[in-house]
Amino acid sequence: MFTIDLTGRRALVAGVADDGGYGFAIAKALVECGATVVVGTWPPALNIFNNLLERGKMDTSRRLSDGAMMEFERIYPLDAAFDTMADVPDDIRTNKRYANAGDFTIGGLAERLVSDFGARPLDIVIHSLANGPEVKNALLATSRSGYLTAVGVSAYSMVSFVQRFGPLLRPHASFLSLTYMASERVIPGYGGGMSSAKAALESDTRVLAYEAGRAFGARVNCISAGPLASRAASAIGIIEKMVAYASANSPLTEPLNPAEVGAAAAFLSSRHASGITGSVVYVDKGYHSMGMATQIG
């Protein structure tokens, strides 16, 4: 039987703060396939996430197909806006939401992983995070600071991931990030430089695939997922409209299930996808293939 077996492999899934997003769905799919998973969570959301876990608020969504409960091997604080603590401004260092987080930078996470698990602790790295502080602004109304933050957190962080986690990889490892159709088509209302960030992420996927392949023997791919009305996506302000529109105008009209993105991620992270790198894989019910809407509005 053709199965995805990730037994003995460890994945880092960055960008998990609840059970409603693609990051959680990917983590669950990897665990279903036998992997162990550590997660990186934005420090201001870390206490809430831990409390939800401890109080059993996510027990239903954590239930695996065999009846067992999904467990995270570690939960680390991670703010992907910063590569090292030297980059962190004083107002963040002294912010009470970052209290007791330790080194929450990308470089700090790399050091923690080595300290906890040894010199080469990773097989799979999932980049499932983004931030556009001015995402509700039209591009023409976006400030330079808002634009650069969107690109820095949502795209450059993937470059930093490969720089810092690449040396920690075991053989046959892979990186995977998440993008969206706004990288190549106009999505009115998805602003603040986020469309530019997603376009950069896709371009970097190709370059990083070459560079990481030669440097670390690792693959680098990207999933272009359909819109999902997650808690994080609510910041866009029109996410319900985006989901409804995509459903009405896709070849397959049922709403995209996060588990479908999780399944694709598990495949791309497995040895079955050993020949796939530098690719953007659409998991969007075929919406990307449409050239004309079937329903307007």
Catalytic residue among 98, 180, 245, 287: 180
Residue 5 placed within a domain: no
The reported pTM is 0.96
161 and 107 in contact (C-beta within 8 Å)? no
Residue 1 placed within a domain: no
Active site residue 147: no
State how far the Cα of 142 lies from the Cα of 134, in Å rounded to an integer.
Answer: 7
CATH number of the domain encompassing residue 248:
3.40.50.720
State how far the Cα of 37 lies from the Cα of 122, in Å rounded to an integer.
Answer: 10
State how far the Cα of 100 lies from the Cα of 93, in Å rounded to an integer.
Answer: 10
Helices (H), 186-257: 194-216, 239-249
Residue 296 placed within a domain: no
Which residues span the domain enclosing 193? 10-287
Residue 73 placed within a domain: yes
Cα–Cα distances (Å) from 26 to 12, 67, 116, 137, in that order, read 11, 18, 23, 30
Residue 294 placed within a domain: no
- pLDDT tens column, 199-254: 999 999 999 999 999 999 999 999 999 998 777 777 777 888 888 988 999 999 99
Active site residue 22: no
- The confidence score (pLDDT) of residue 260 equals 97
Instruction: Look at the chain and report how many structural domains it folds into.
Output: 1
Residue 3 placed within a domain: no
- pLDDT tens column, 84-107: 999 999 999 999 999 899 999 999
Catalytic residue among 190, 245, 282, 287: 190
